[in-house]
Structure 1
Amino acid sequence: ARDMAIVSLLACTGLRRSEAAALDWSQVDAQPDGSGRLTVTRSKTDQEGEGAVVAITSVAMRDLERWAELQGRDRQGSVFGLSGRQVSRRVAAVAKAAGLGEGFSGHSGRVGMAVTMLRNQAPSATIMRQGRWNSERMIGRYGRNETAGEALRYL
């Protein structure tokens, strides 16, 4: 349950592994529609701790709720109780067990979130806000295979 919660949360929020490791239950806010909001208080690009709020899908919220229930304690303190390195190892193990092969890490959710949003034709500004990027450069890097494939519509 913990691993599913990690993978689904990383895939929809674009959290870095260090952000997932530092995640506290107080940063997770359930919404009436079943989705959630996550306040990222500190990150690689936000050392001052201004914070940013990103969306959590209803699927990821269900996975988080299941993990919380299995923990059997009030939703206080660390969500996962893992280091950044351990988060990365769990992602790699889940991908391997799912038959996706090698090469997955704690950063894979960040890339996957950008690619999924590109496939769903989300506006760049929306992708940038969810990924907490200040420019389109990272979207271009992560989505280069997707954007190259757009040419096929015109060939």
Structure 2
Amino acid sequence: MTEYTPISADISPKNAVVDDARSTILSAAFGPEPPSYETERRLLSWSKSIAPNTLRAILSDLRIVEAFQSARHQPTLPVSPLDLYSLIEQRAHEGYSKSSIDRLIASMVTLHATLELPSPADDNLRWKQREIRRRDSRPREQARGLRIKGDVEDIEKDAPLPLSLLSLLESIPDDPAGLRDRAMISAGYDAGLRRSELVRVRLEHIHRLPQGEASLFIPRSKTDQEGEGATAWLSSRTLQHIDAWVEKADIEDGYLFRPLSYRVSGTGHLAEGSVSSILKERLRSHLEGLADEGEFDRSQIGGIIKATSAHSLRIGVDQDMIAAGVDIGAIMHGLRWSSPKQPLSYARHLVPATSKLAAKMRGIT
């Protein structure tokens, strides 16, 4: 894909992600030929209106189409319904999931509509999409939830299991990296933070409450792209971990979770991708230590680490709330969900046991 050179300096975007997206998309659609001024303005307005991660996903899908079309000596855009049909059929045969294929189609439909190109989706394509969905019976993969006490029967009374948030926090050493990681993991669980929210927590966003807890202001999130802001709860446990890290790192304001070396990140906070890496390594070290003492099955560690990601903290607190019988409306509000579908999906194995039906039947049986 050749790089597109901006034709008008007065509308050049400020954001590097937007700039890259605009150049890539215009090159894919028009090659070396400049588009109309209105088309460029339209693309710029659209690319600045959506979340950066959404834009990155669309660019990723565009590169898939580019590779497919290039192998067939066809231009990347516009892609015809027949070509897109052939592409999704090929990817289905190669074992790609129905969700990735759905996203690919949605990305192409969005790009074509934005550039005012003919739609790449017709009835035949949609029928093929439905066929792929029906054939692909694999359950949707999701990260493993890291629950506060593990998979206990009674979340209030039972002691923490070896594979739990509390046991993990206790195992982390008190060196500078450990103090930071313990505070970050604990805060991520309490507030159900997405990784983009977690790395951007600032010290001035934490407002202490009389009972030793705190509220955390979240300026922007995945479901709040307009920046209205939201608040979340932090426990006294998390505040103690944060205080220990702040004192050690001598932080007075600004981002709370910072790299230990200036070479790691130029943004002032940890990179989003580092959250998963840190959590995986801390959990691996904890479980291997338990395995060395004969308290954990070593053969399970690899699978557990593979299924763990930054989202495990958000999934874990969601599952614990469901297990504790918290109303789904309160969970949606507290964890900033826009729909009940996802939080219920994450805890689908727990929902039946917490239902009113189960409570009633326990008294009968």
Partners of 2:230 and 2:251 in 1: CA distance: 27
Which residue of 2 is the match for residue 88 of structure 1? 276
1:35 to 198, 210, 213: 213
3-state DSSP of counterpart to 2:237: helix
1:126 to 325, 330, 343: 330
Task: Please give the TM-score of this superposition, normalised by the length of structure 2.
Answer: 0.40
3-state DSSP of counterpart to 1:53: strand
Which residue of 2 is the match for residue 55 of structure 1? 233
Which residue of 1 is the match for residue 316 of structure 2? 112
1:135 to 339, 351, 354: 339
* 1:73 shift after superposition: 3.1
3-state DSSP of counterpart to 2:217: strand
**Does the Cα contact within 8 Å between 2:223 and 2:338 map onto a contact in 1?**
no
Cα root mean square deviation, aligned: 1.7
Which residue of 1 is the match for residue 196 of structure 2? 18
**Does the Cα contact within 8 Å between 2:323 and 2:351 map onto a contact in 1?**
no
Partners of 1:89 and 1:65 in 2: CA distance: 23
* 1:148 shift after superposition: 4.0
1:71 to 249, 252, 256: 249
**Does the Cα contact within 8 Å between 1:54 and 1:129 map onto a contact in 2?**
no
Q: Which moved more, 1:78-87 or 1:92-101?
A: 92-101
Partners of 1:44 and 1:94 in 2: CA distance: 26
Q: Work out the number of aligned pairs and report it.
A: 154
**Does the Cα contact within 8 Å between 2:207 and 2:214 map onto a contact in 1?**
yes
**Does the Cα contact within 8 Å between 2:325 and 2:354 map onto a contact in 1?**
no
Task: Please give the TM-score of this superposition, normalised by the length of structure 1.
Answer: 0.91
**Going by fraction, where is strand more abundant, 1 or 2?**
1
Question: Unmatched 5+ residue regions in structure 2?
Answer: 1-178, 259-269, 288-300
1:46 to 224, 244, 248: 224
3-state DSSP of counterpart to 1:44: coil
Summarize deviations over 1:94-137 as a string: whole Å, max 9, x none.
22222164121111111011011111111112211121012211
Identity %: 29
Partners of 1:27 and 1:7 in 2: CA distance: 17
3-state DSSP of counterpart to 1:73: coil
Partners of 1:6 and 1:43 in 2: CA distance: 17
Partners of 2:198 and 2:337 in 1: CA distance: 17
* 1:2 shift after superposition: 0.8
Partners of 1:29 and 1:96 in 2: CA distance: 33
Question: Unmatched 5+ residue regions in structure 1?
Answer: none
Structure 1 runs of 4+ with >2 Å offset: 148-155
Partners of 1:96 and 1:50 in 2: CA distance: 38
Partners of 2:198 and 2:317 in 1: CA distance: 15
* 1:78 shift after superposition: 0.7
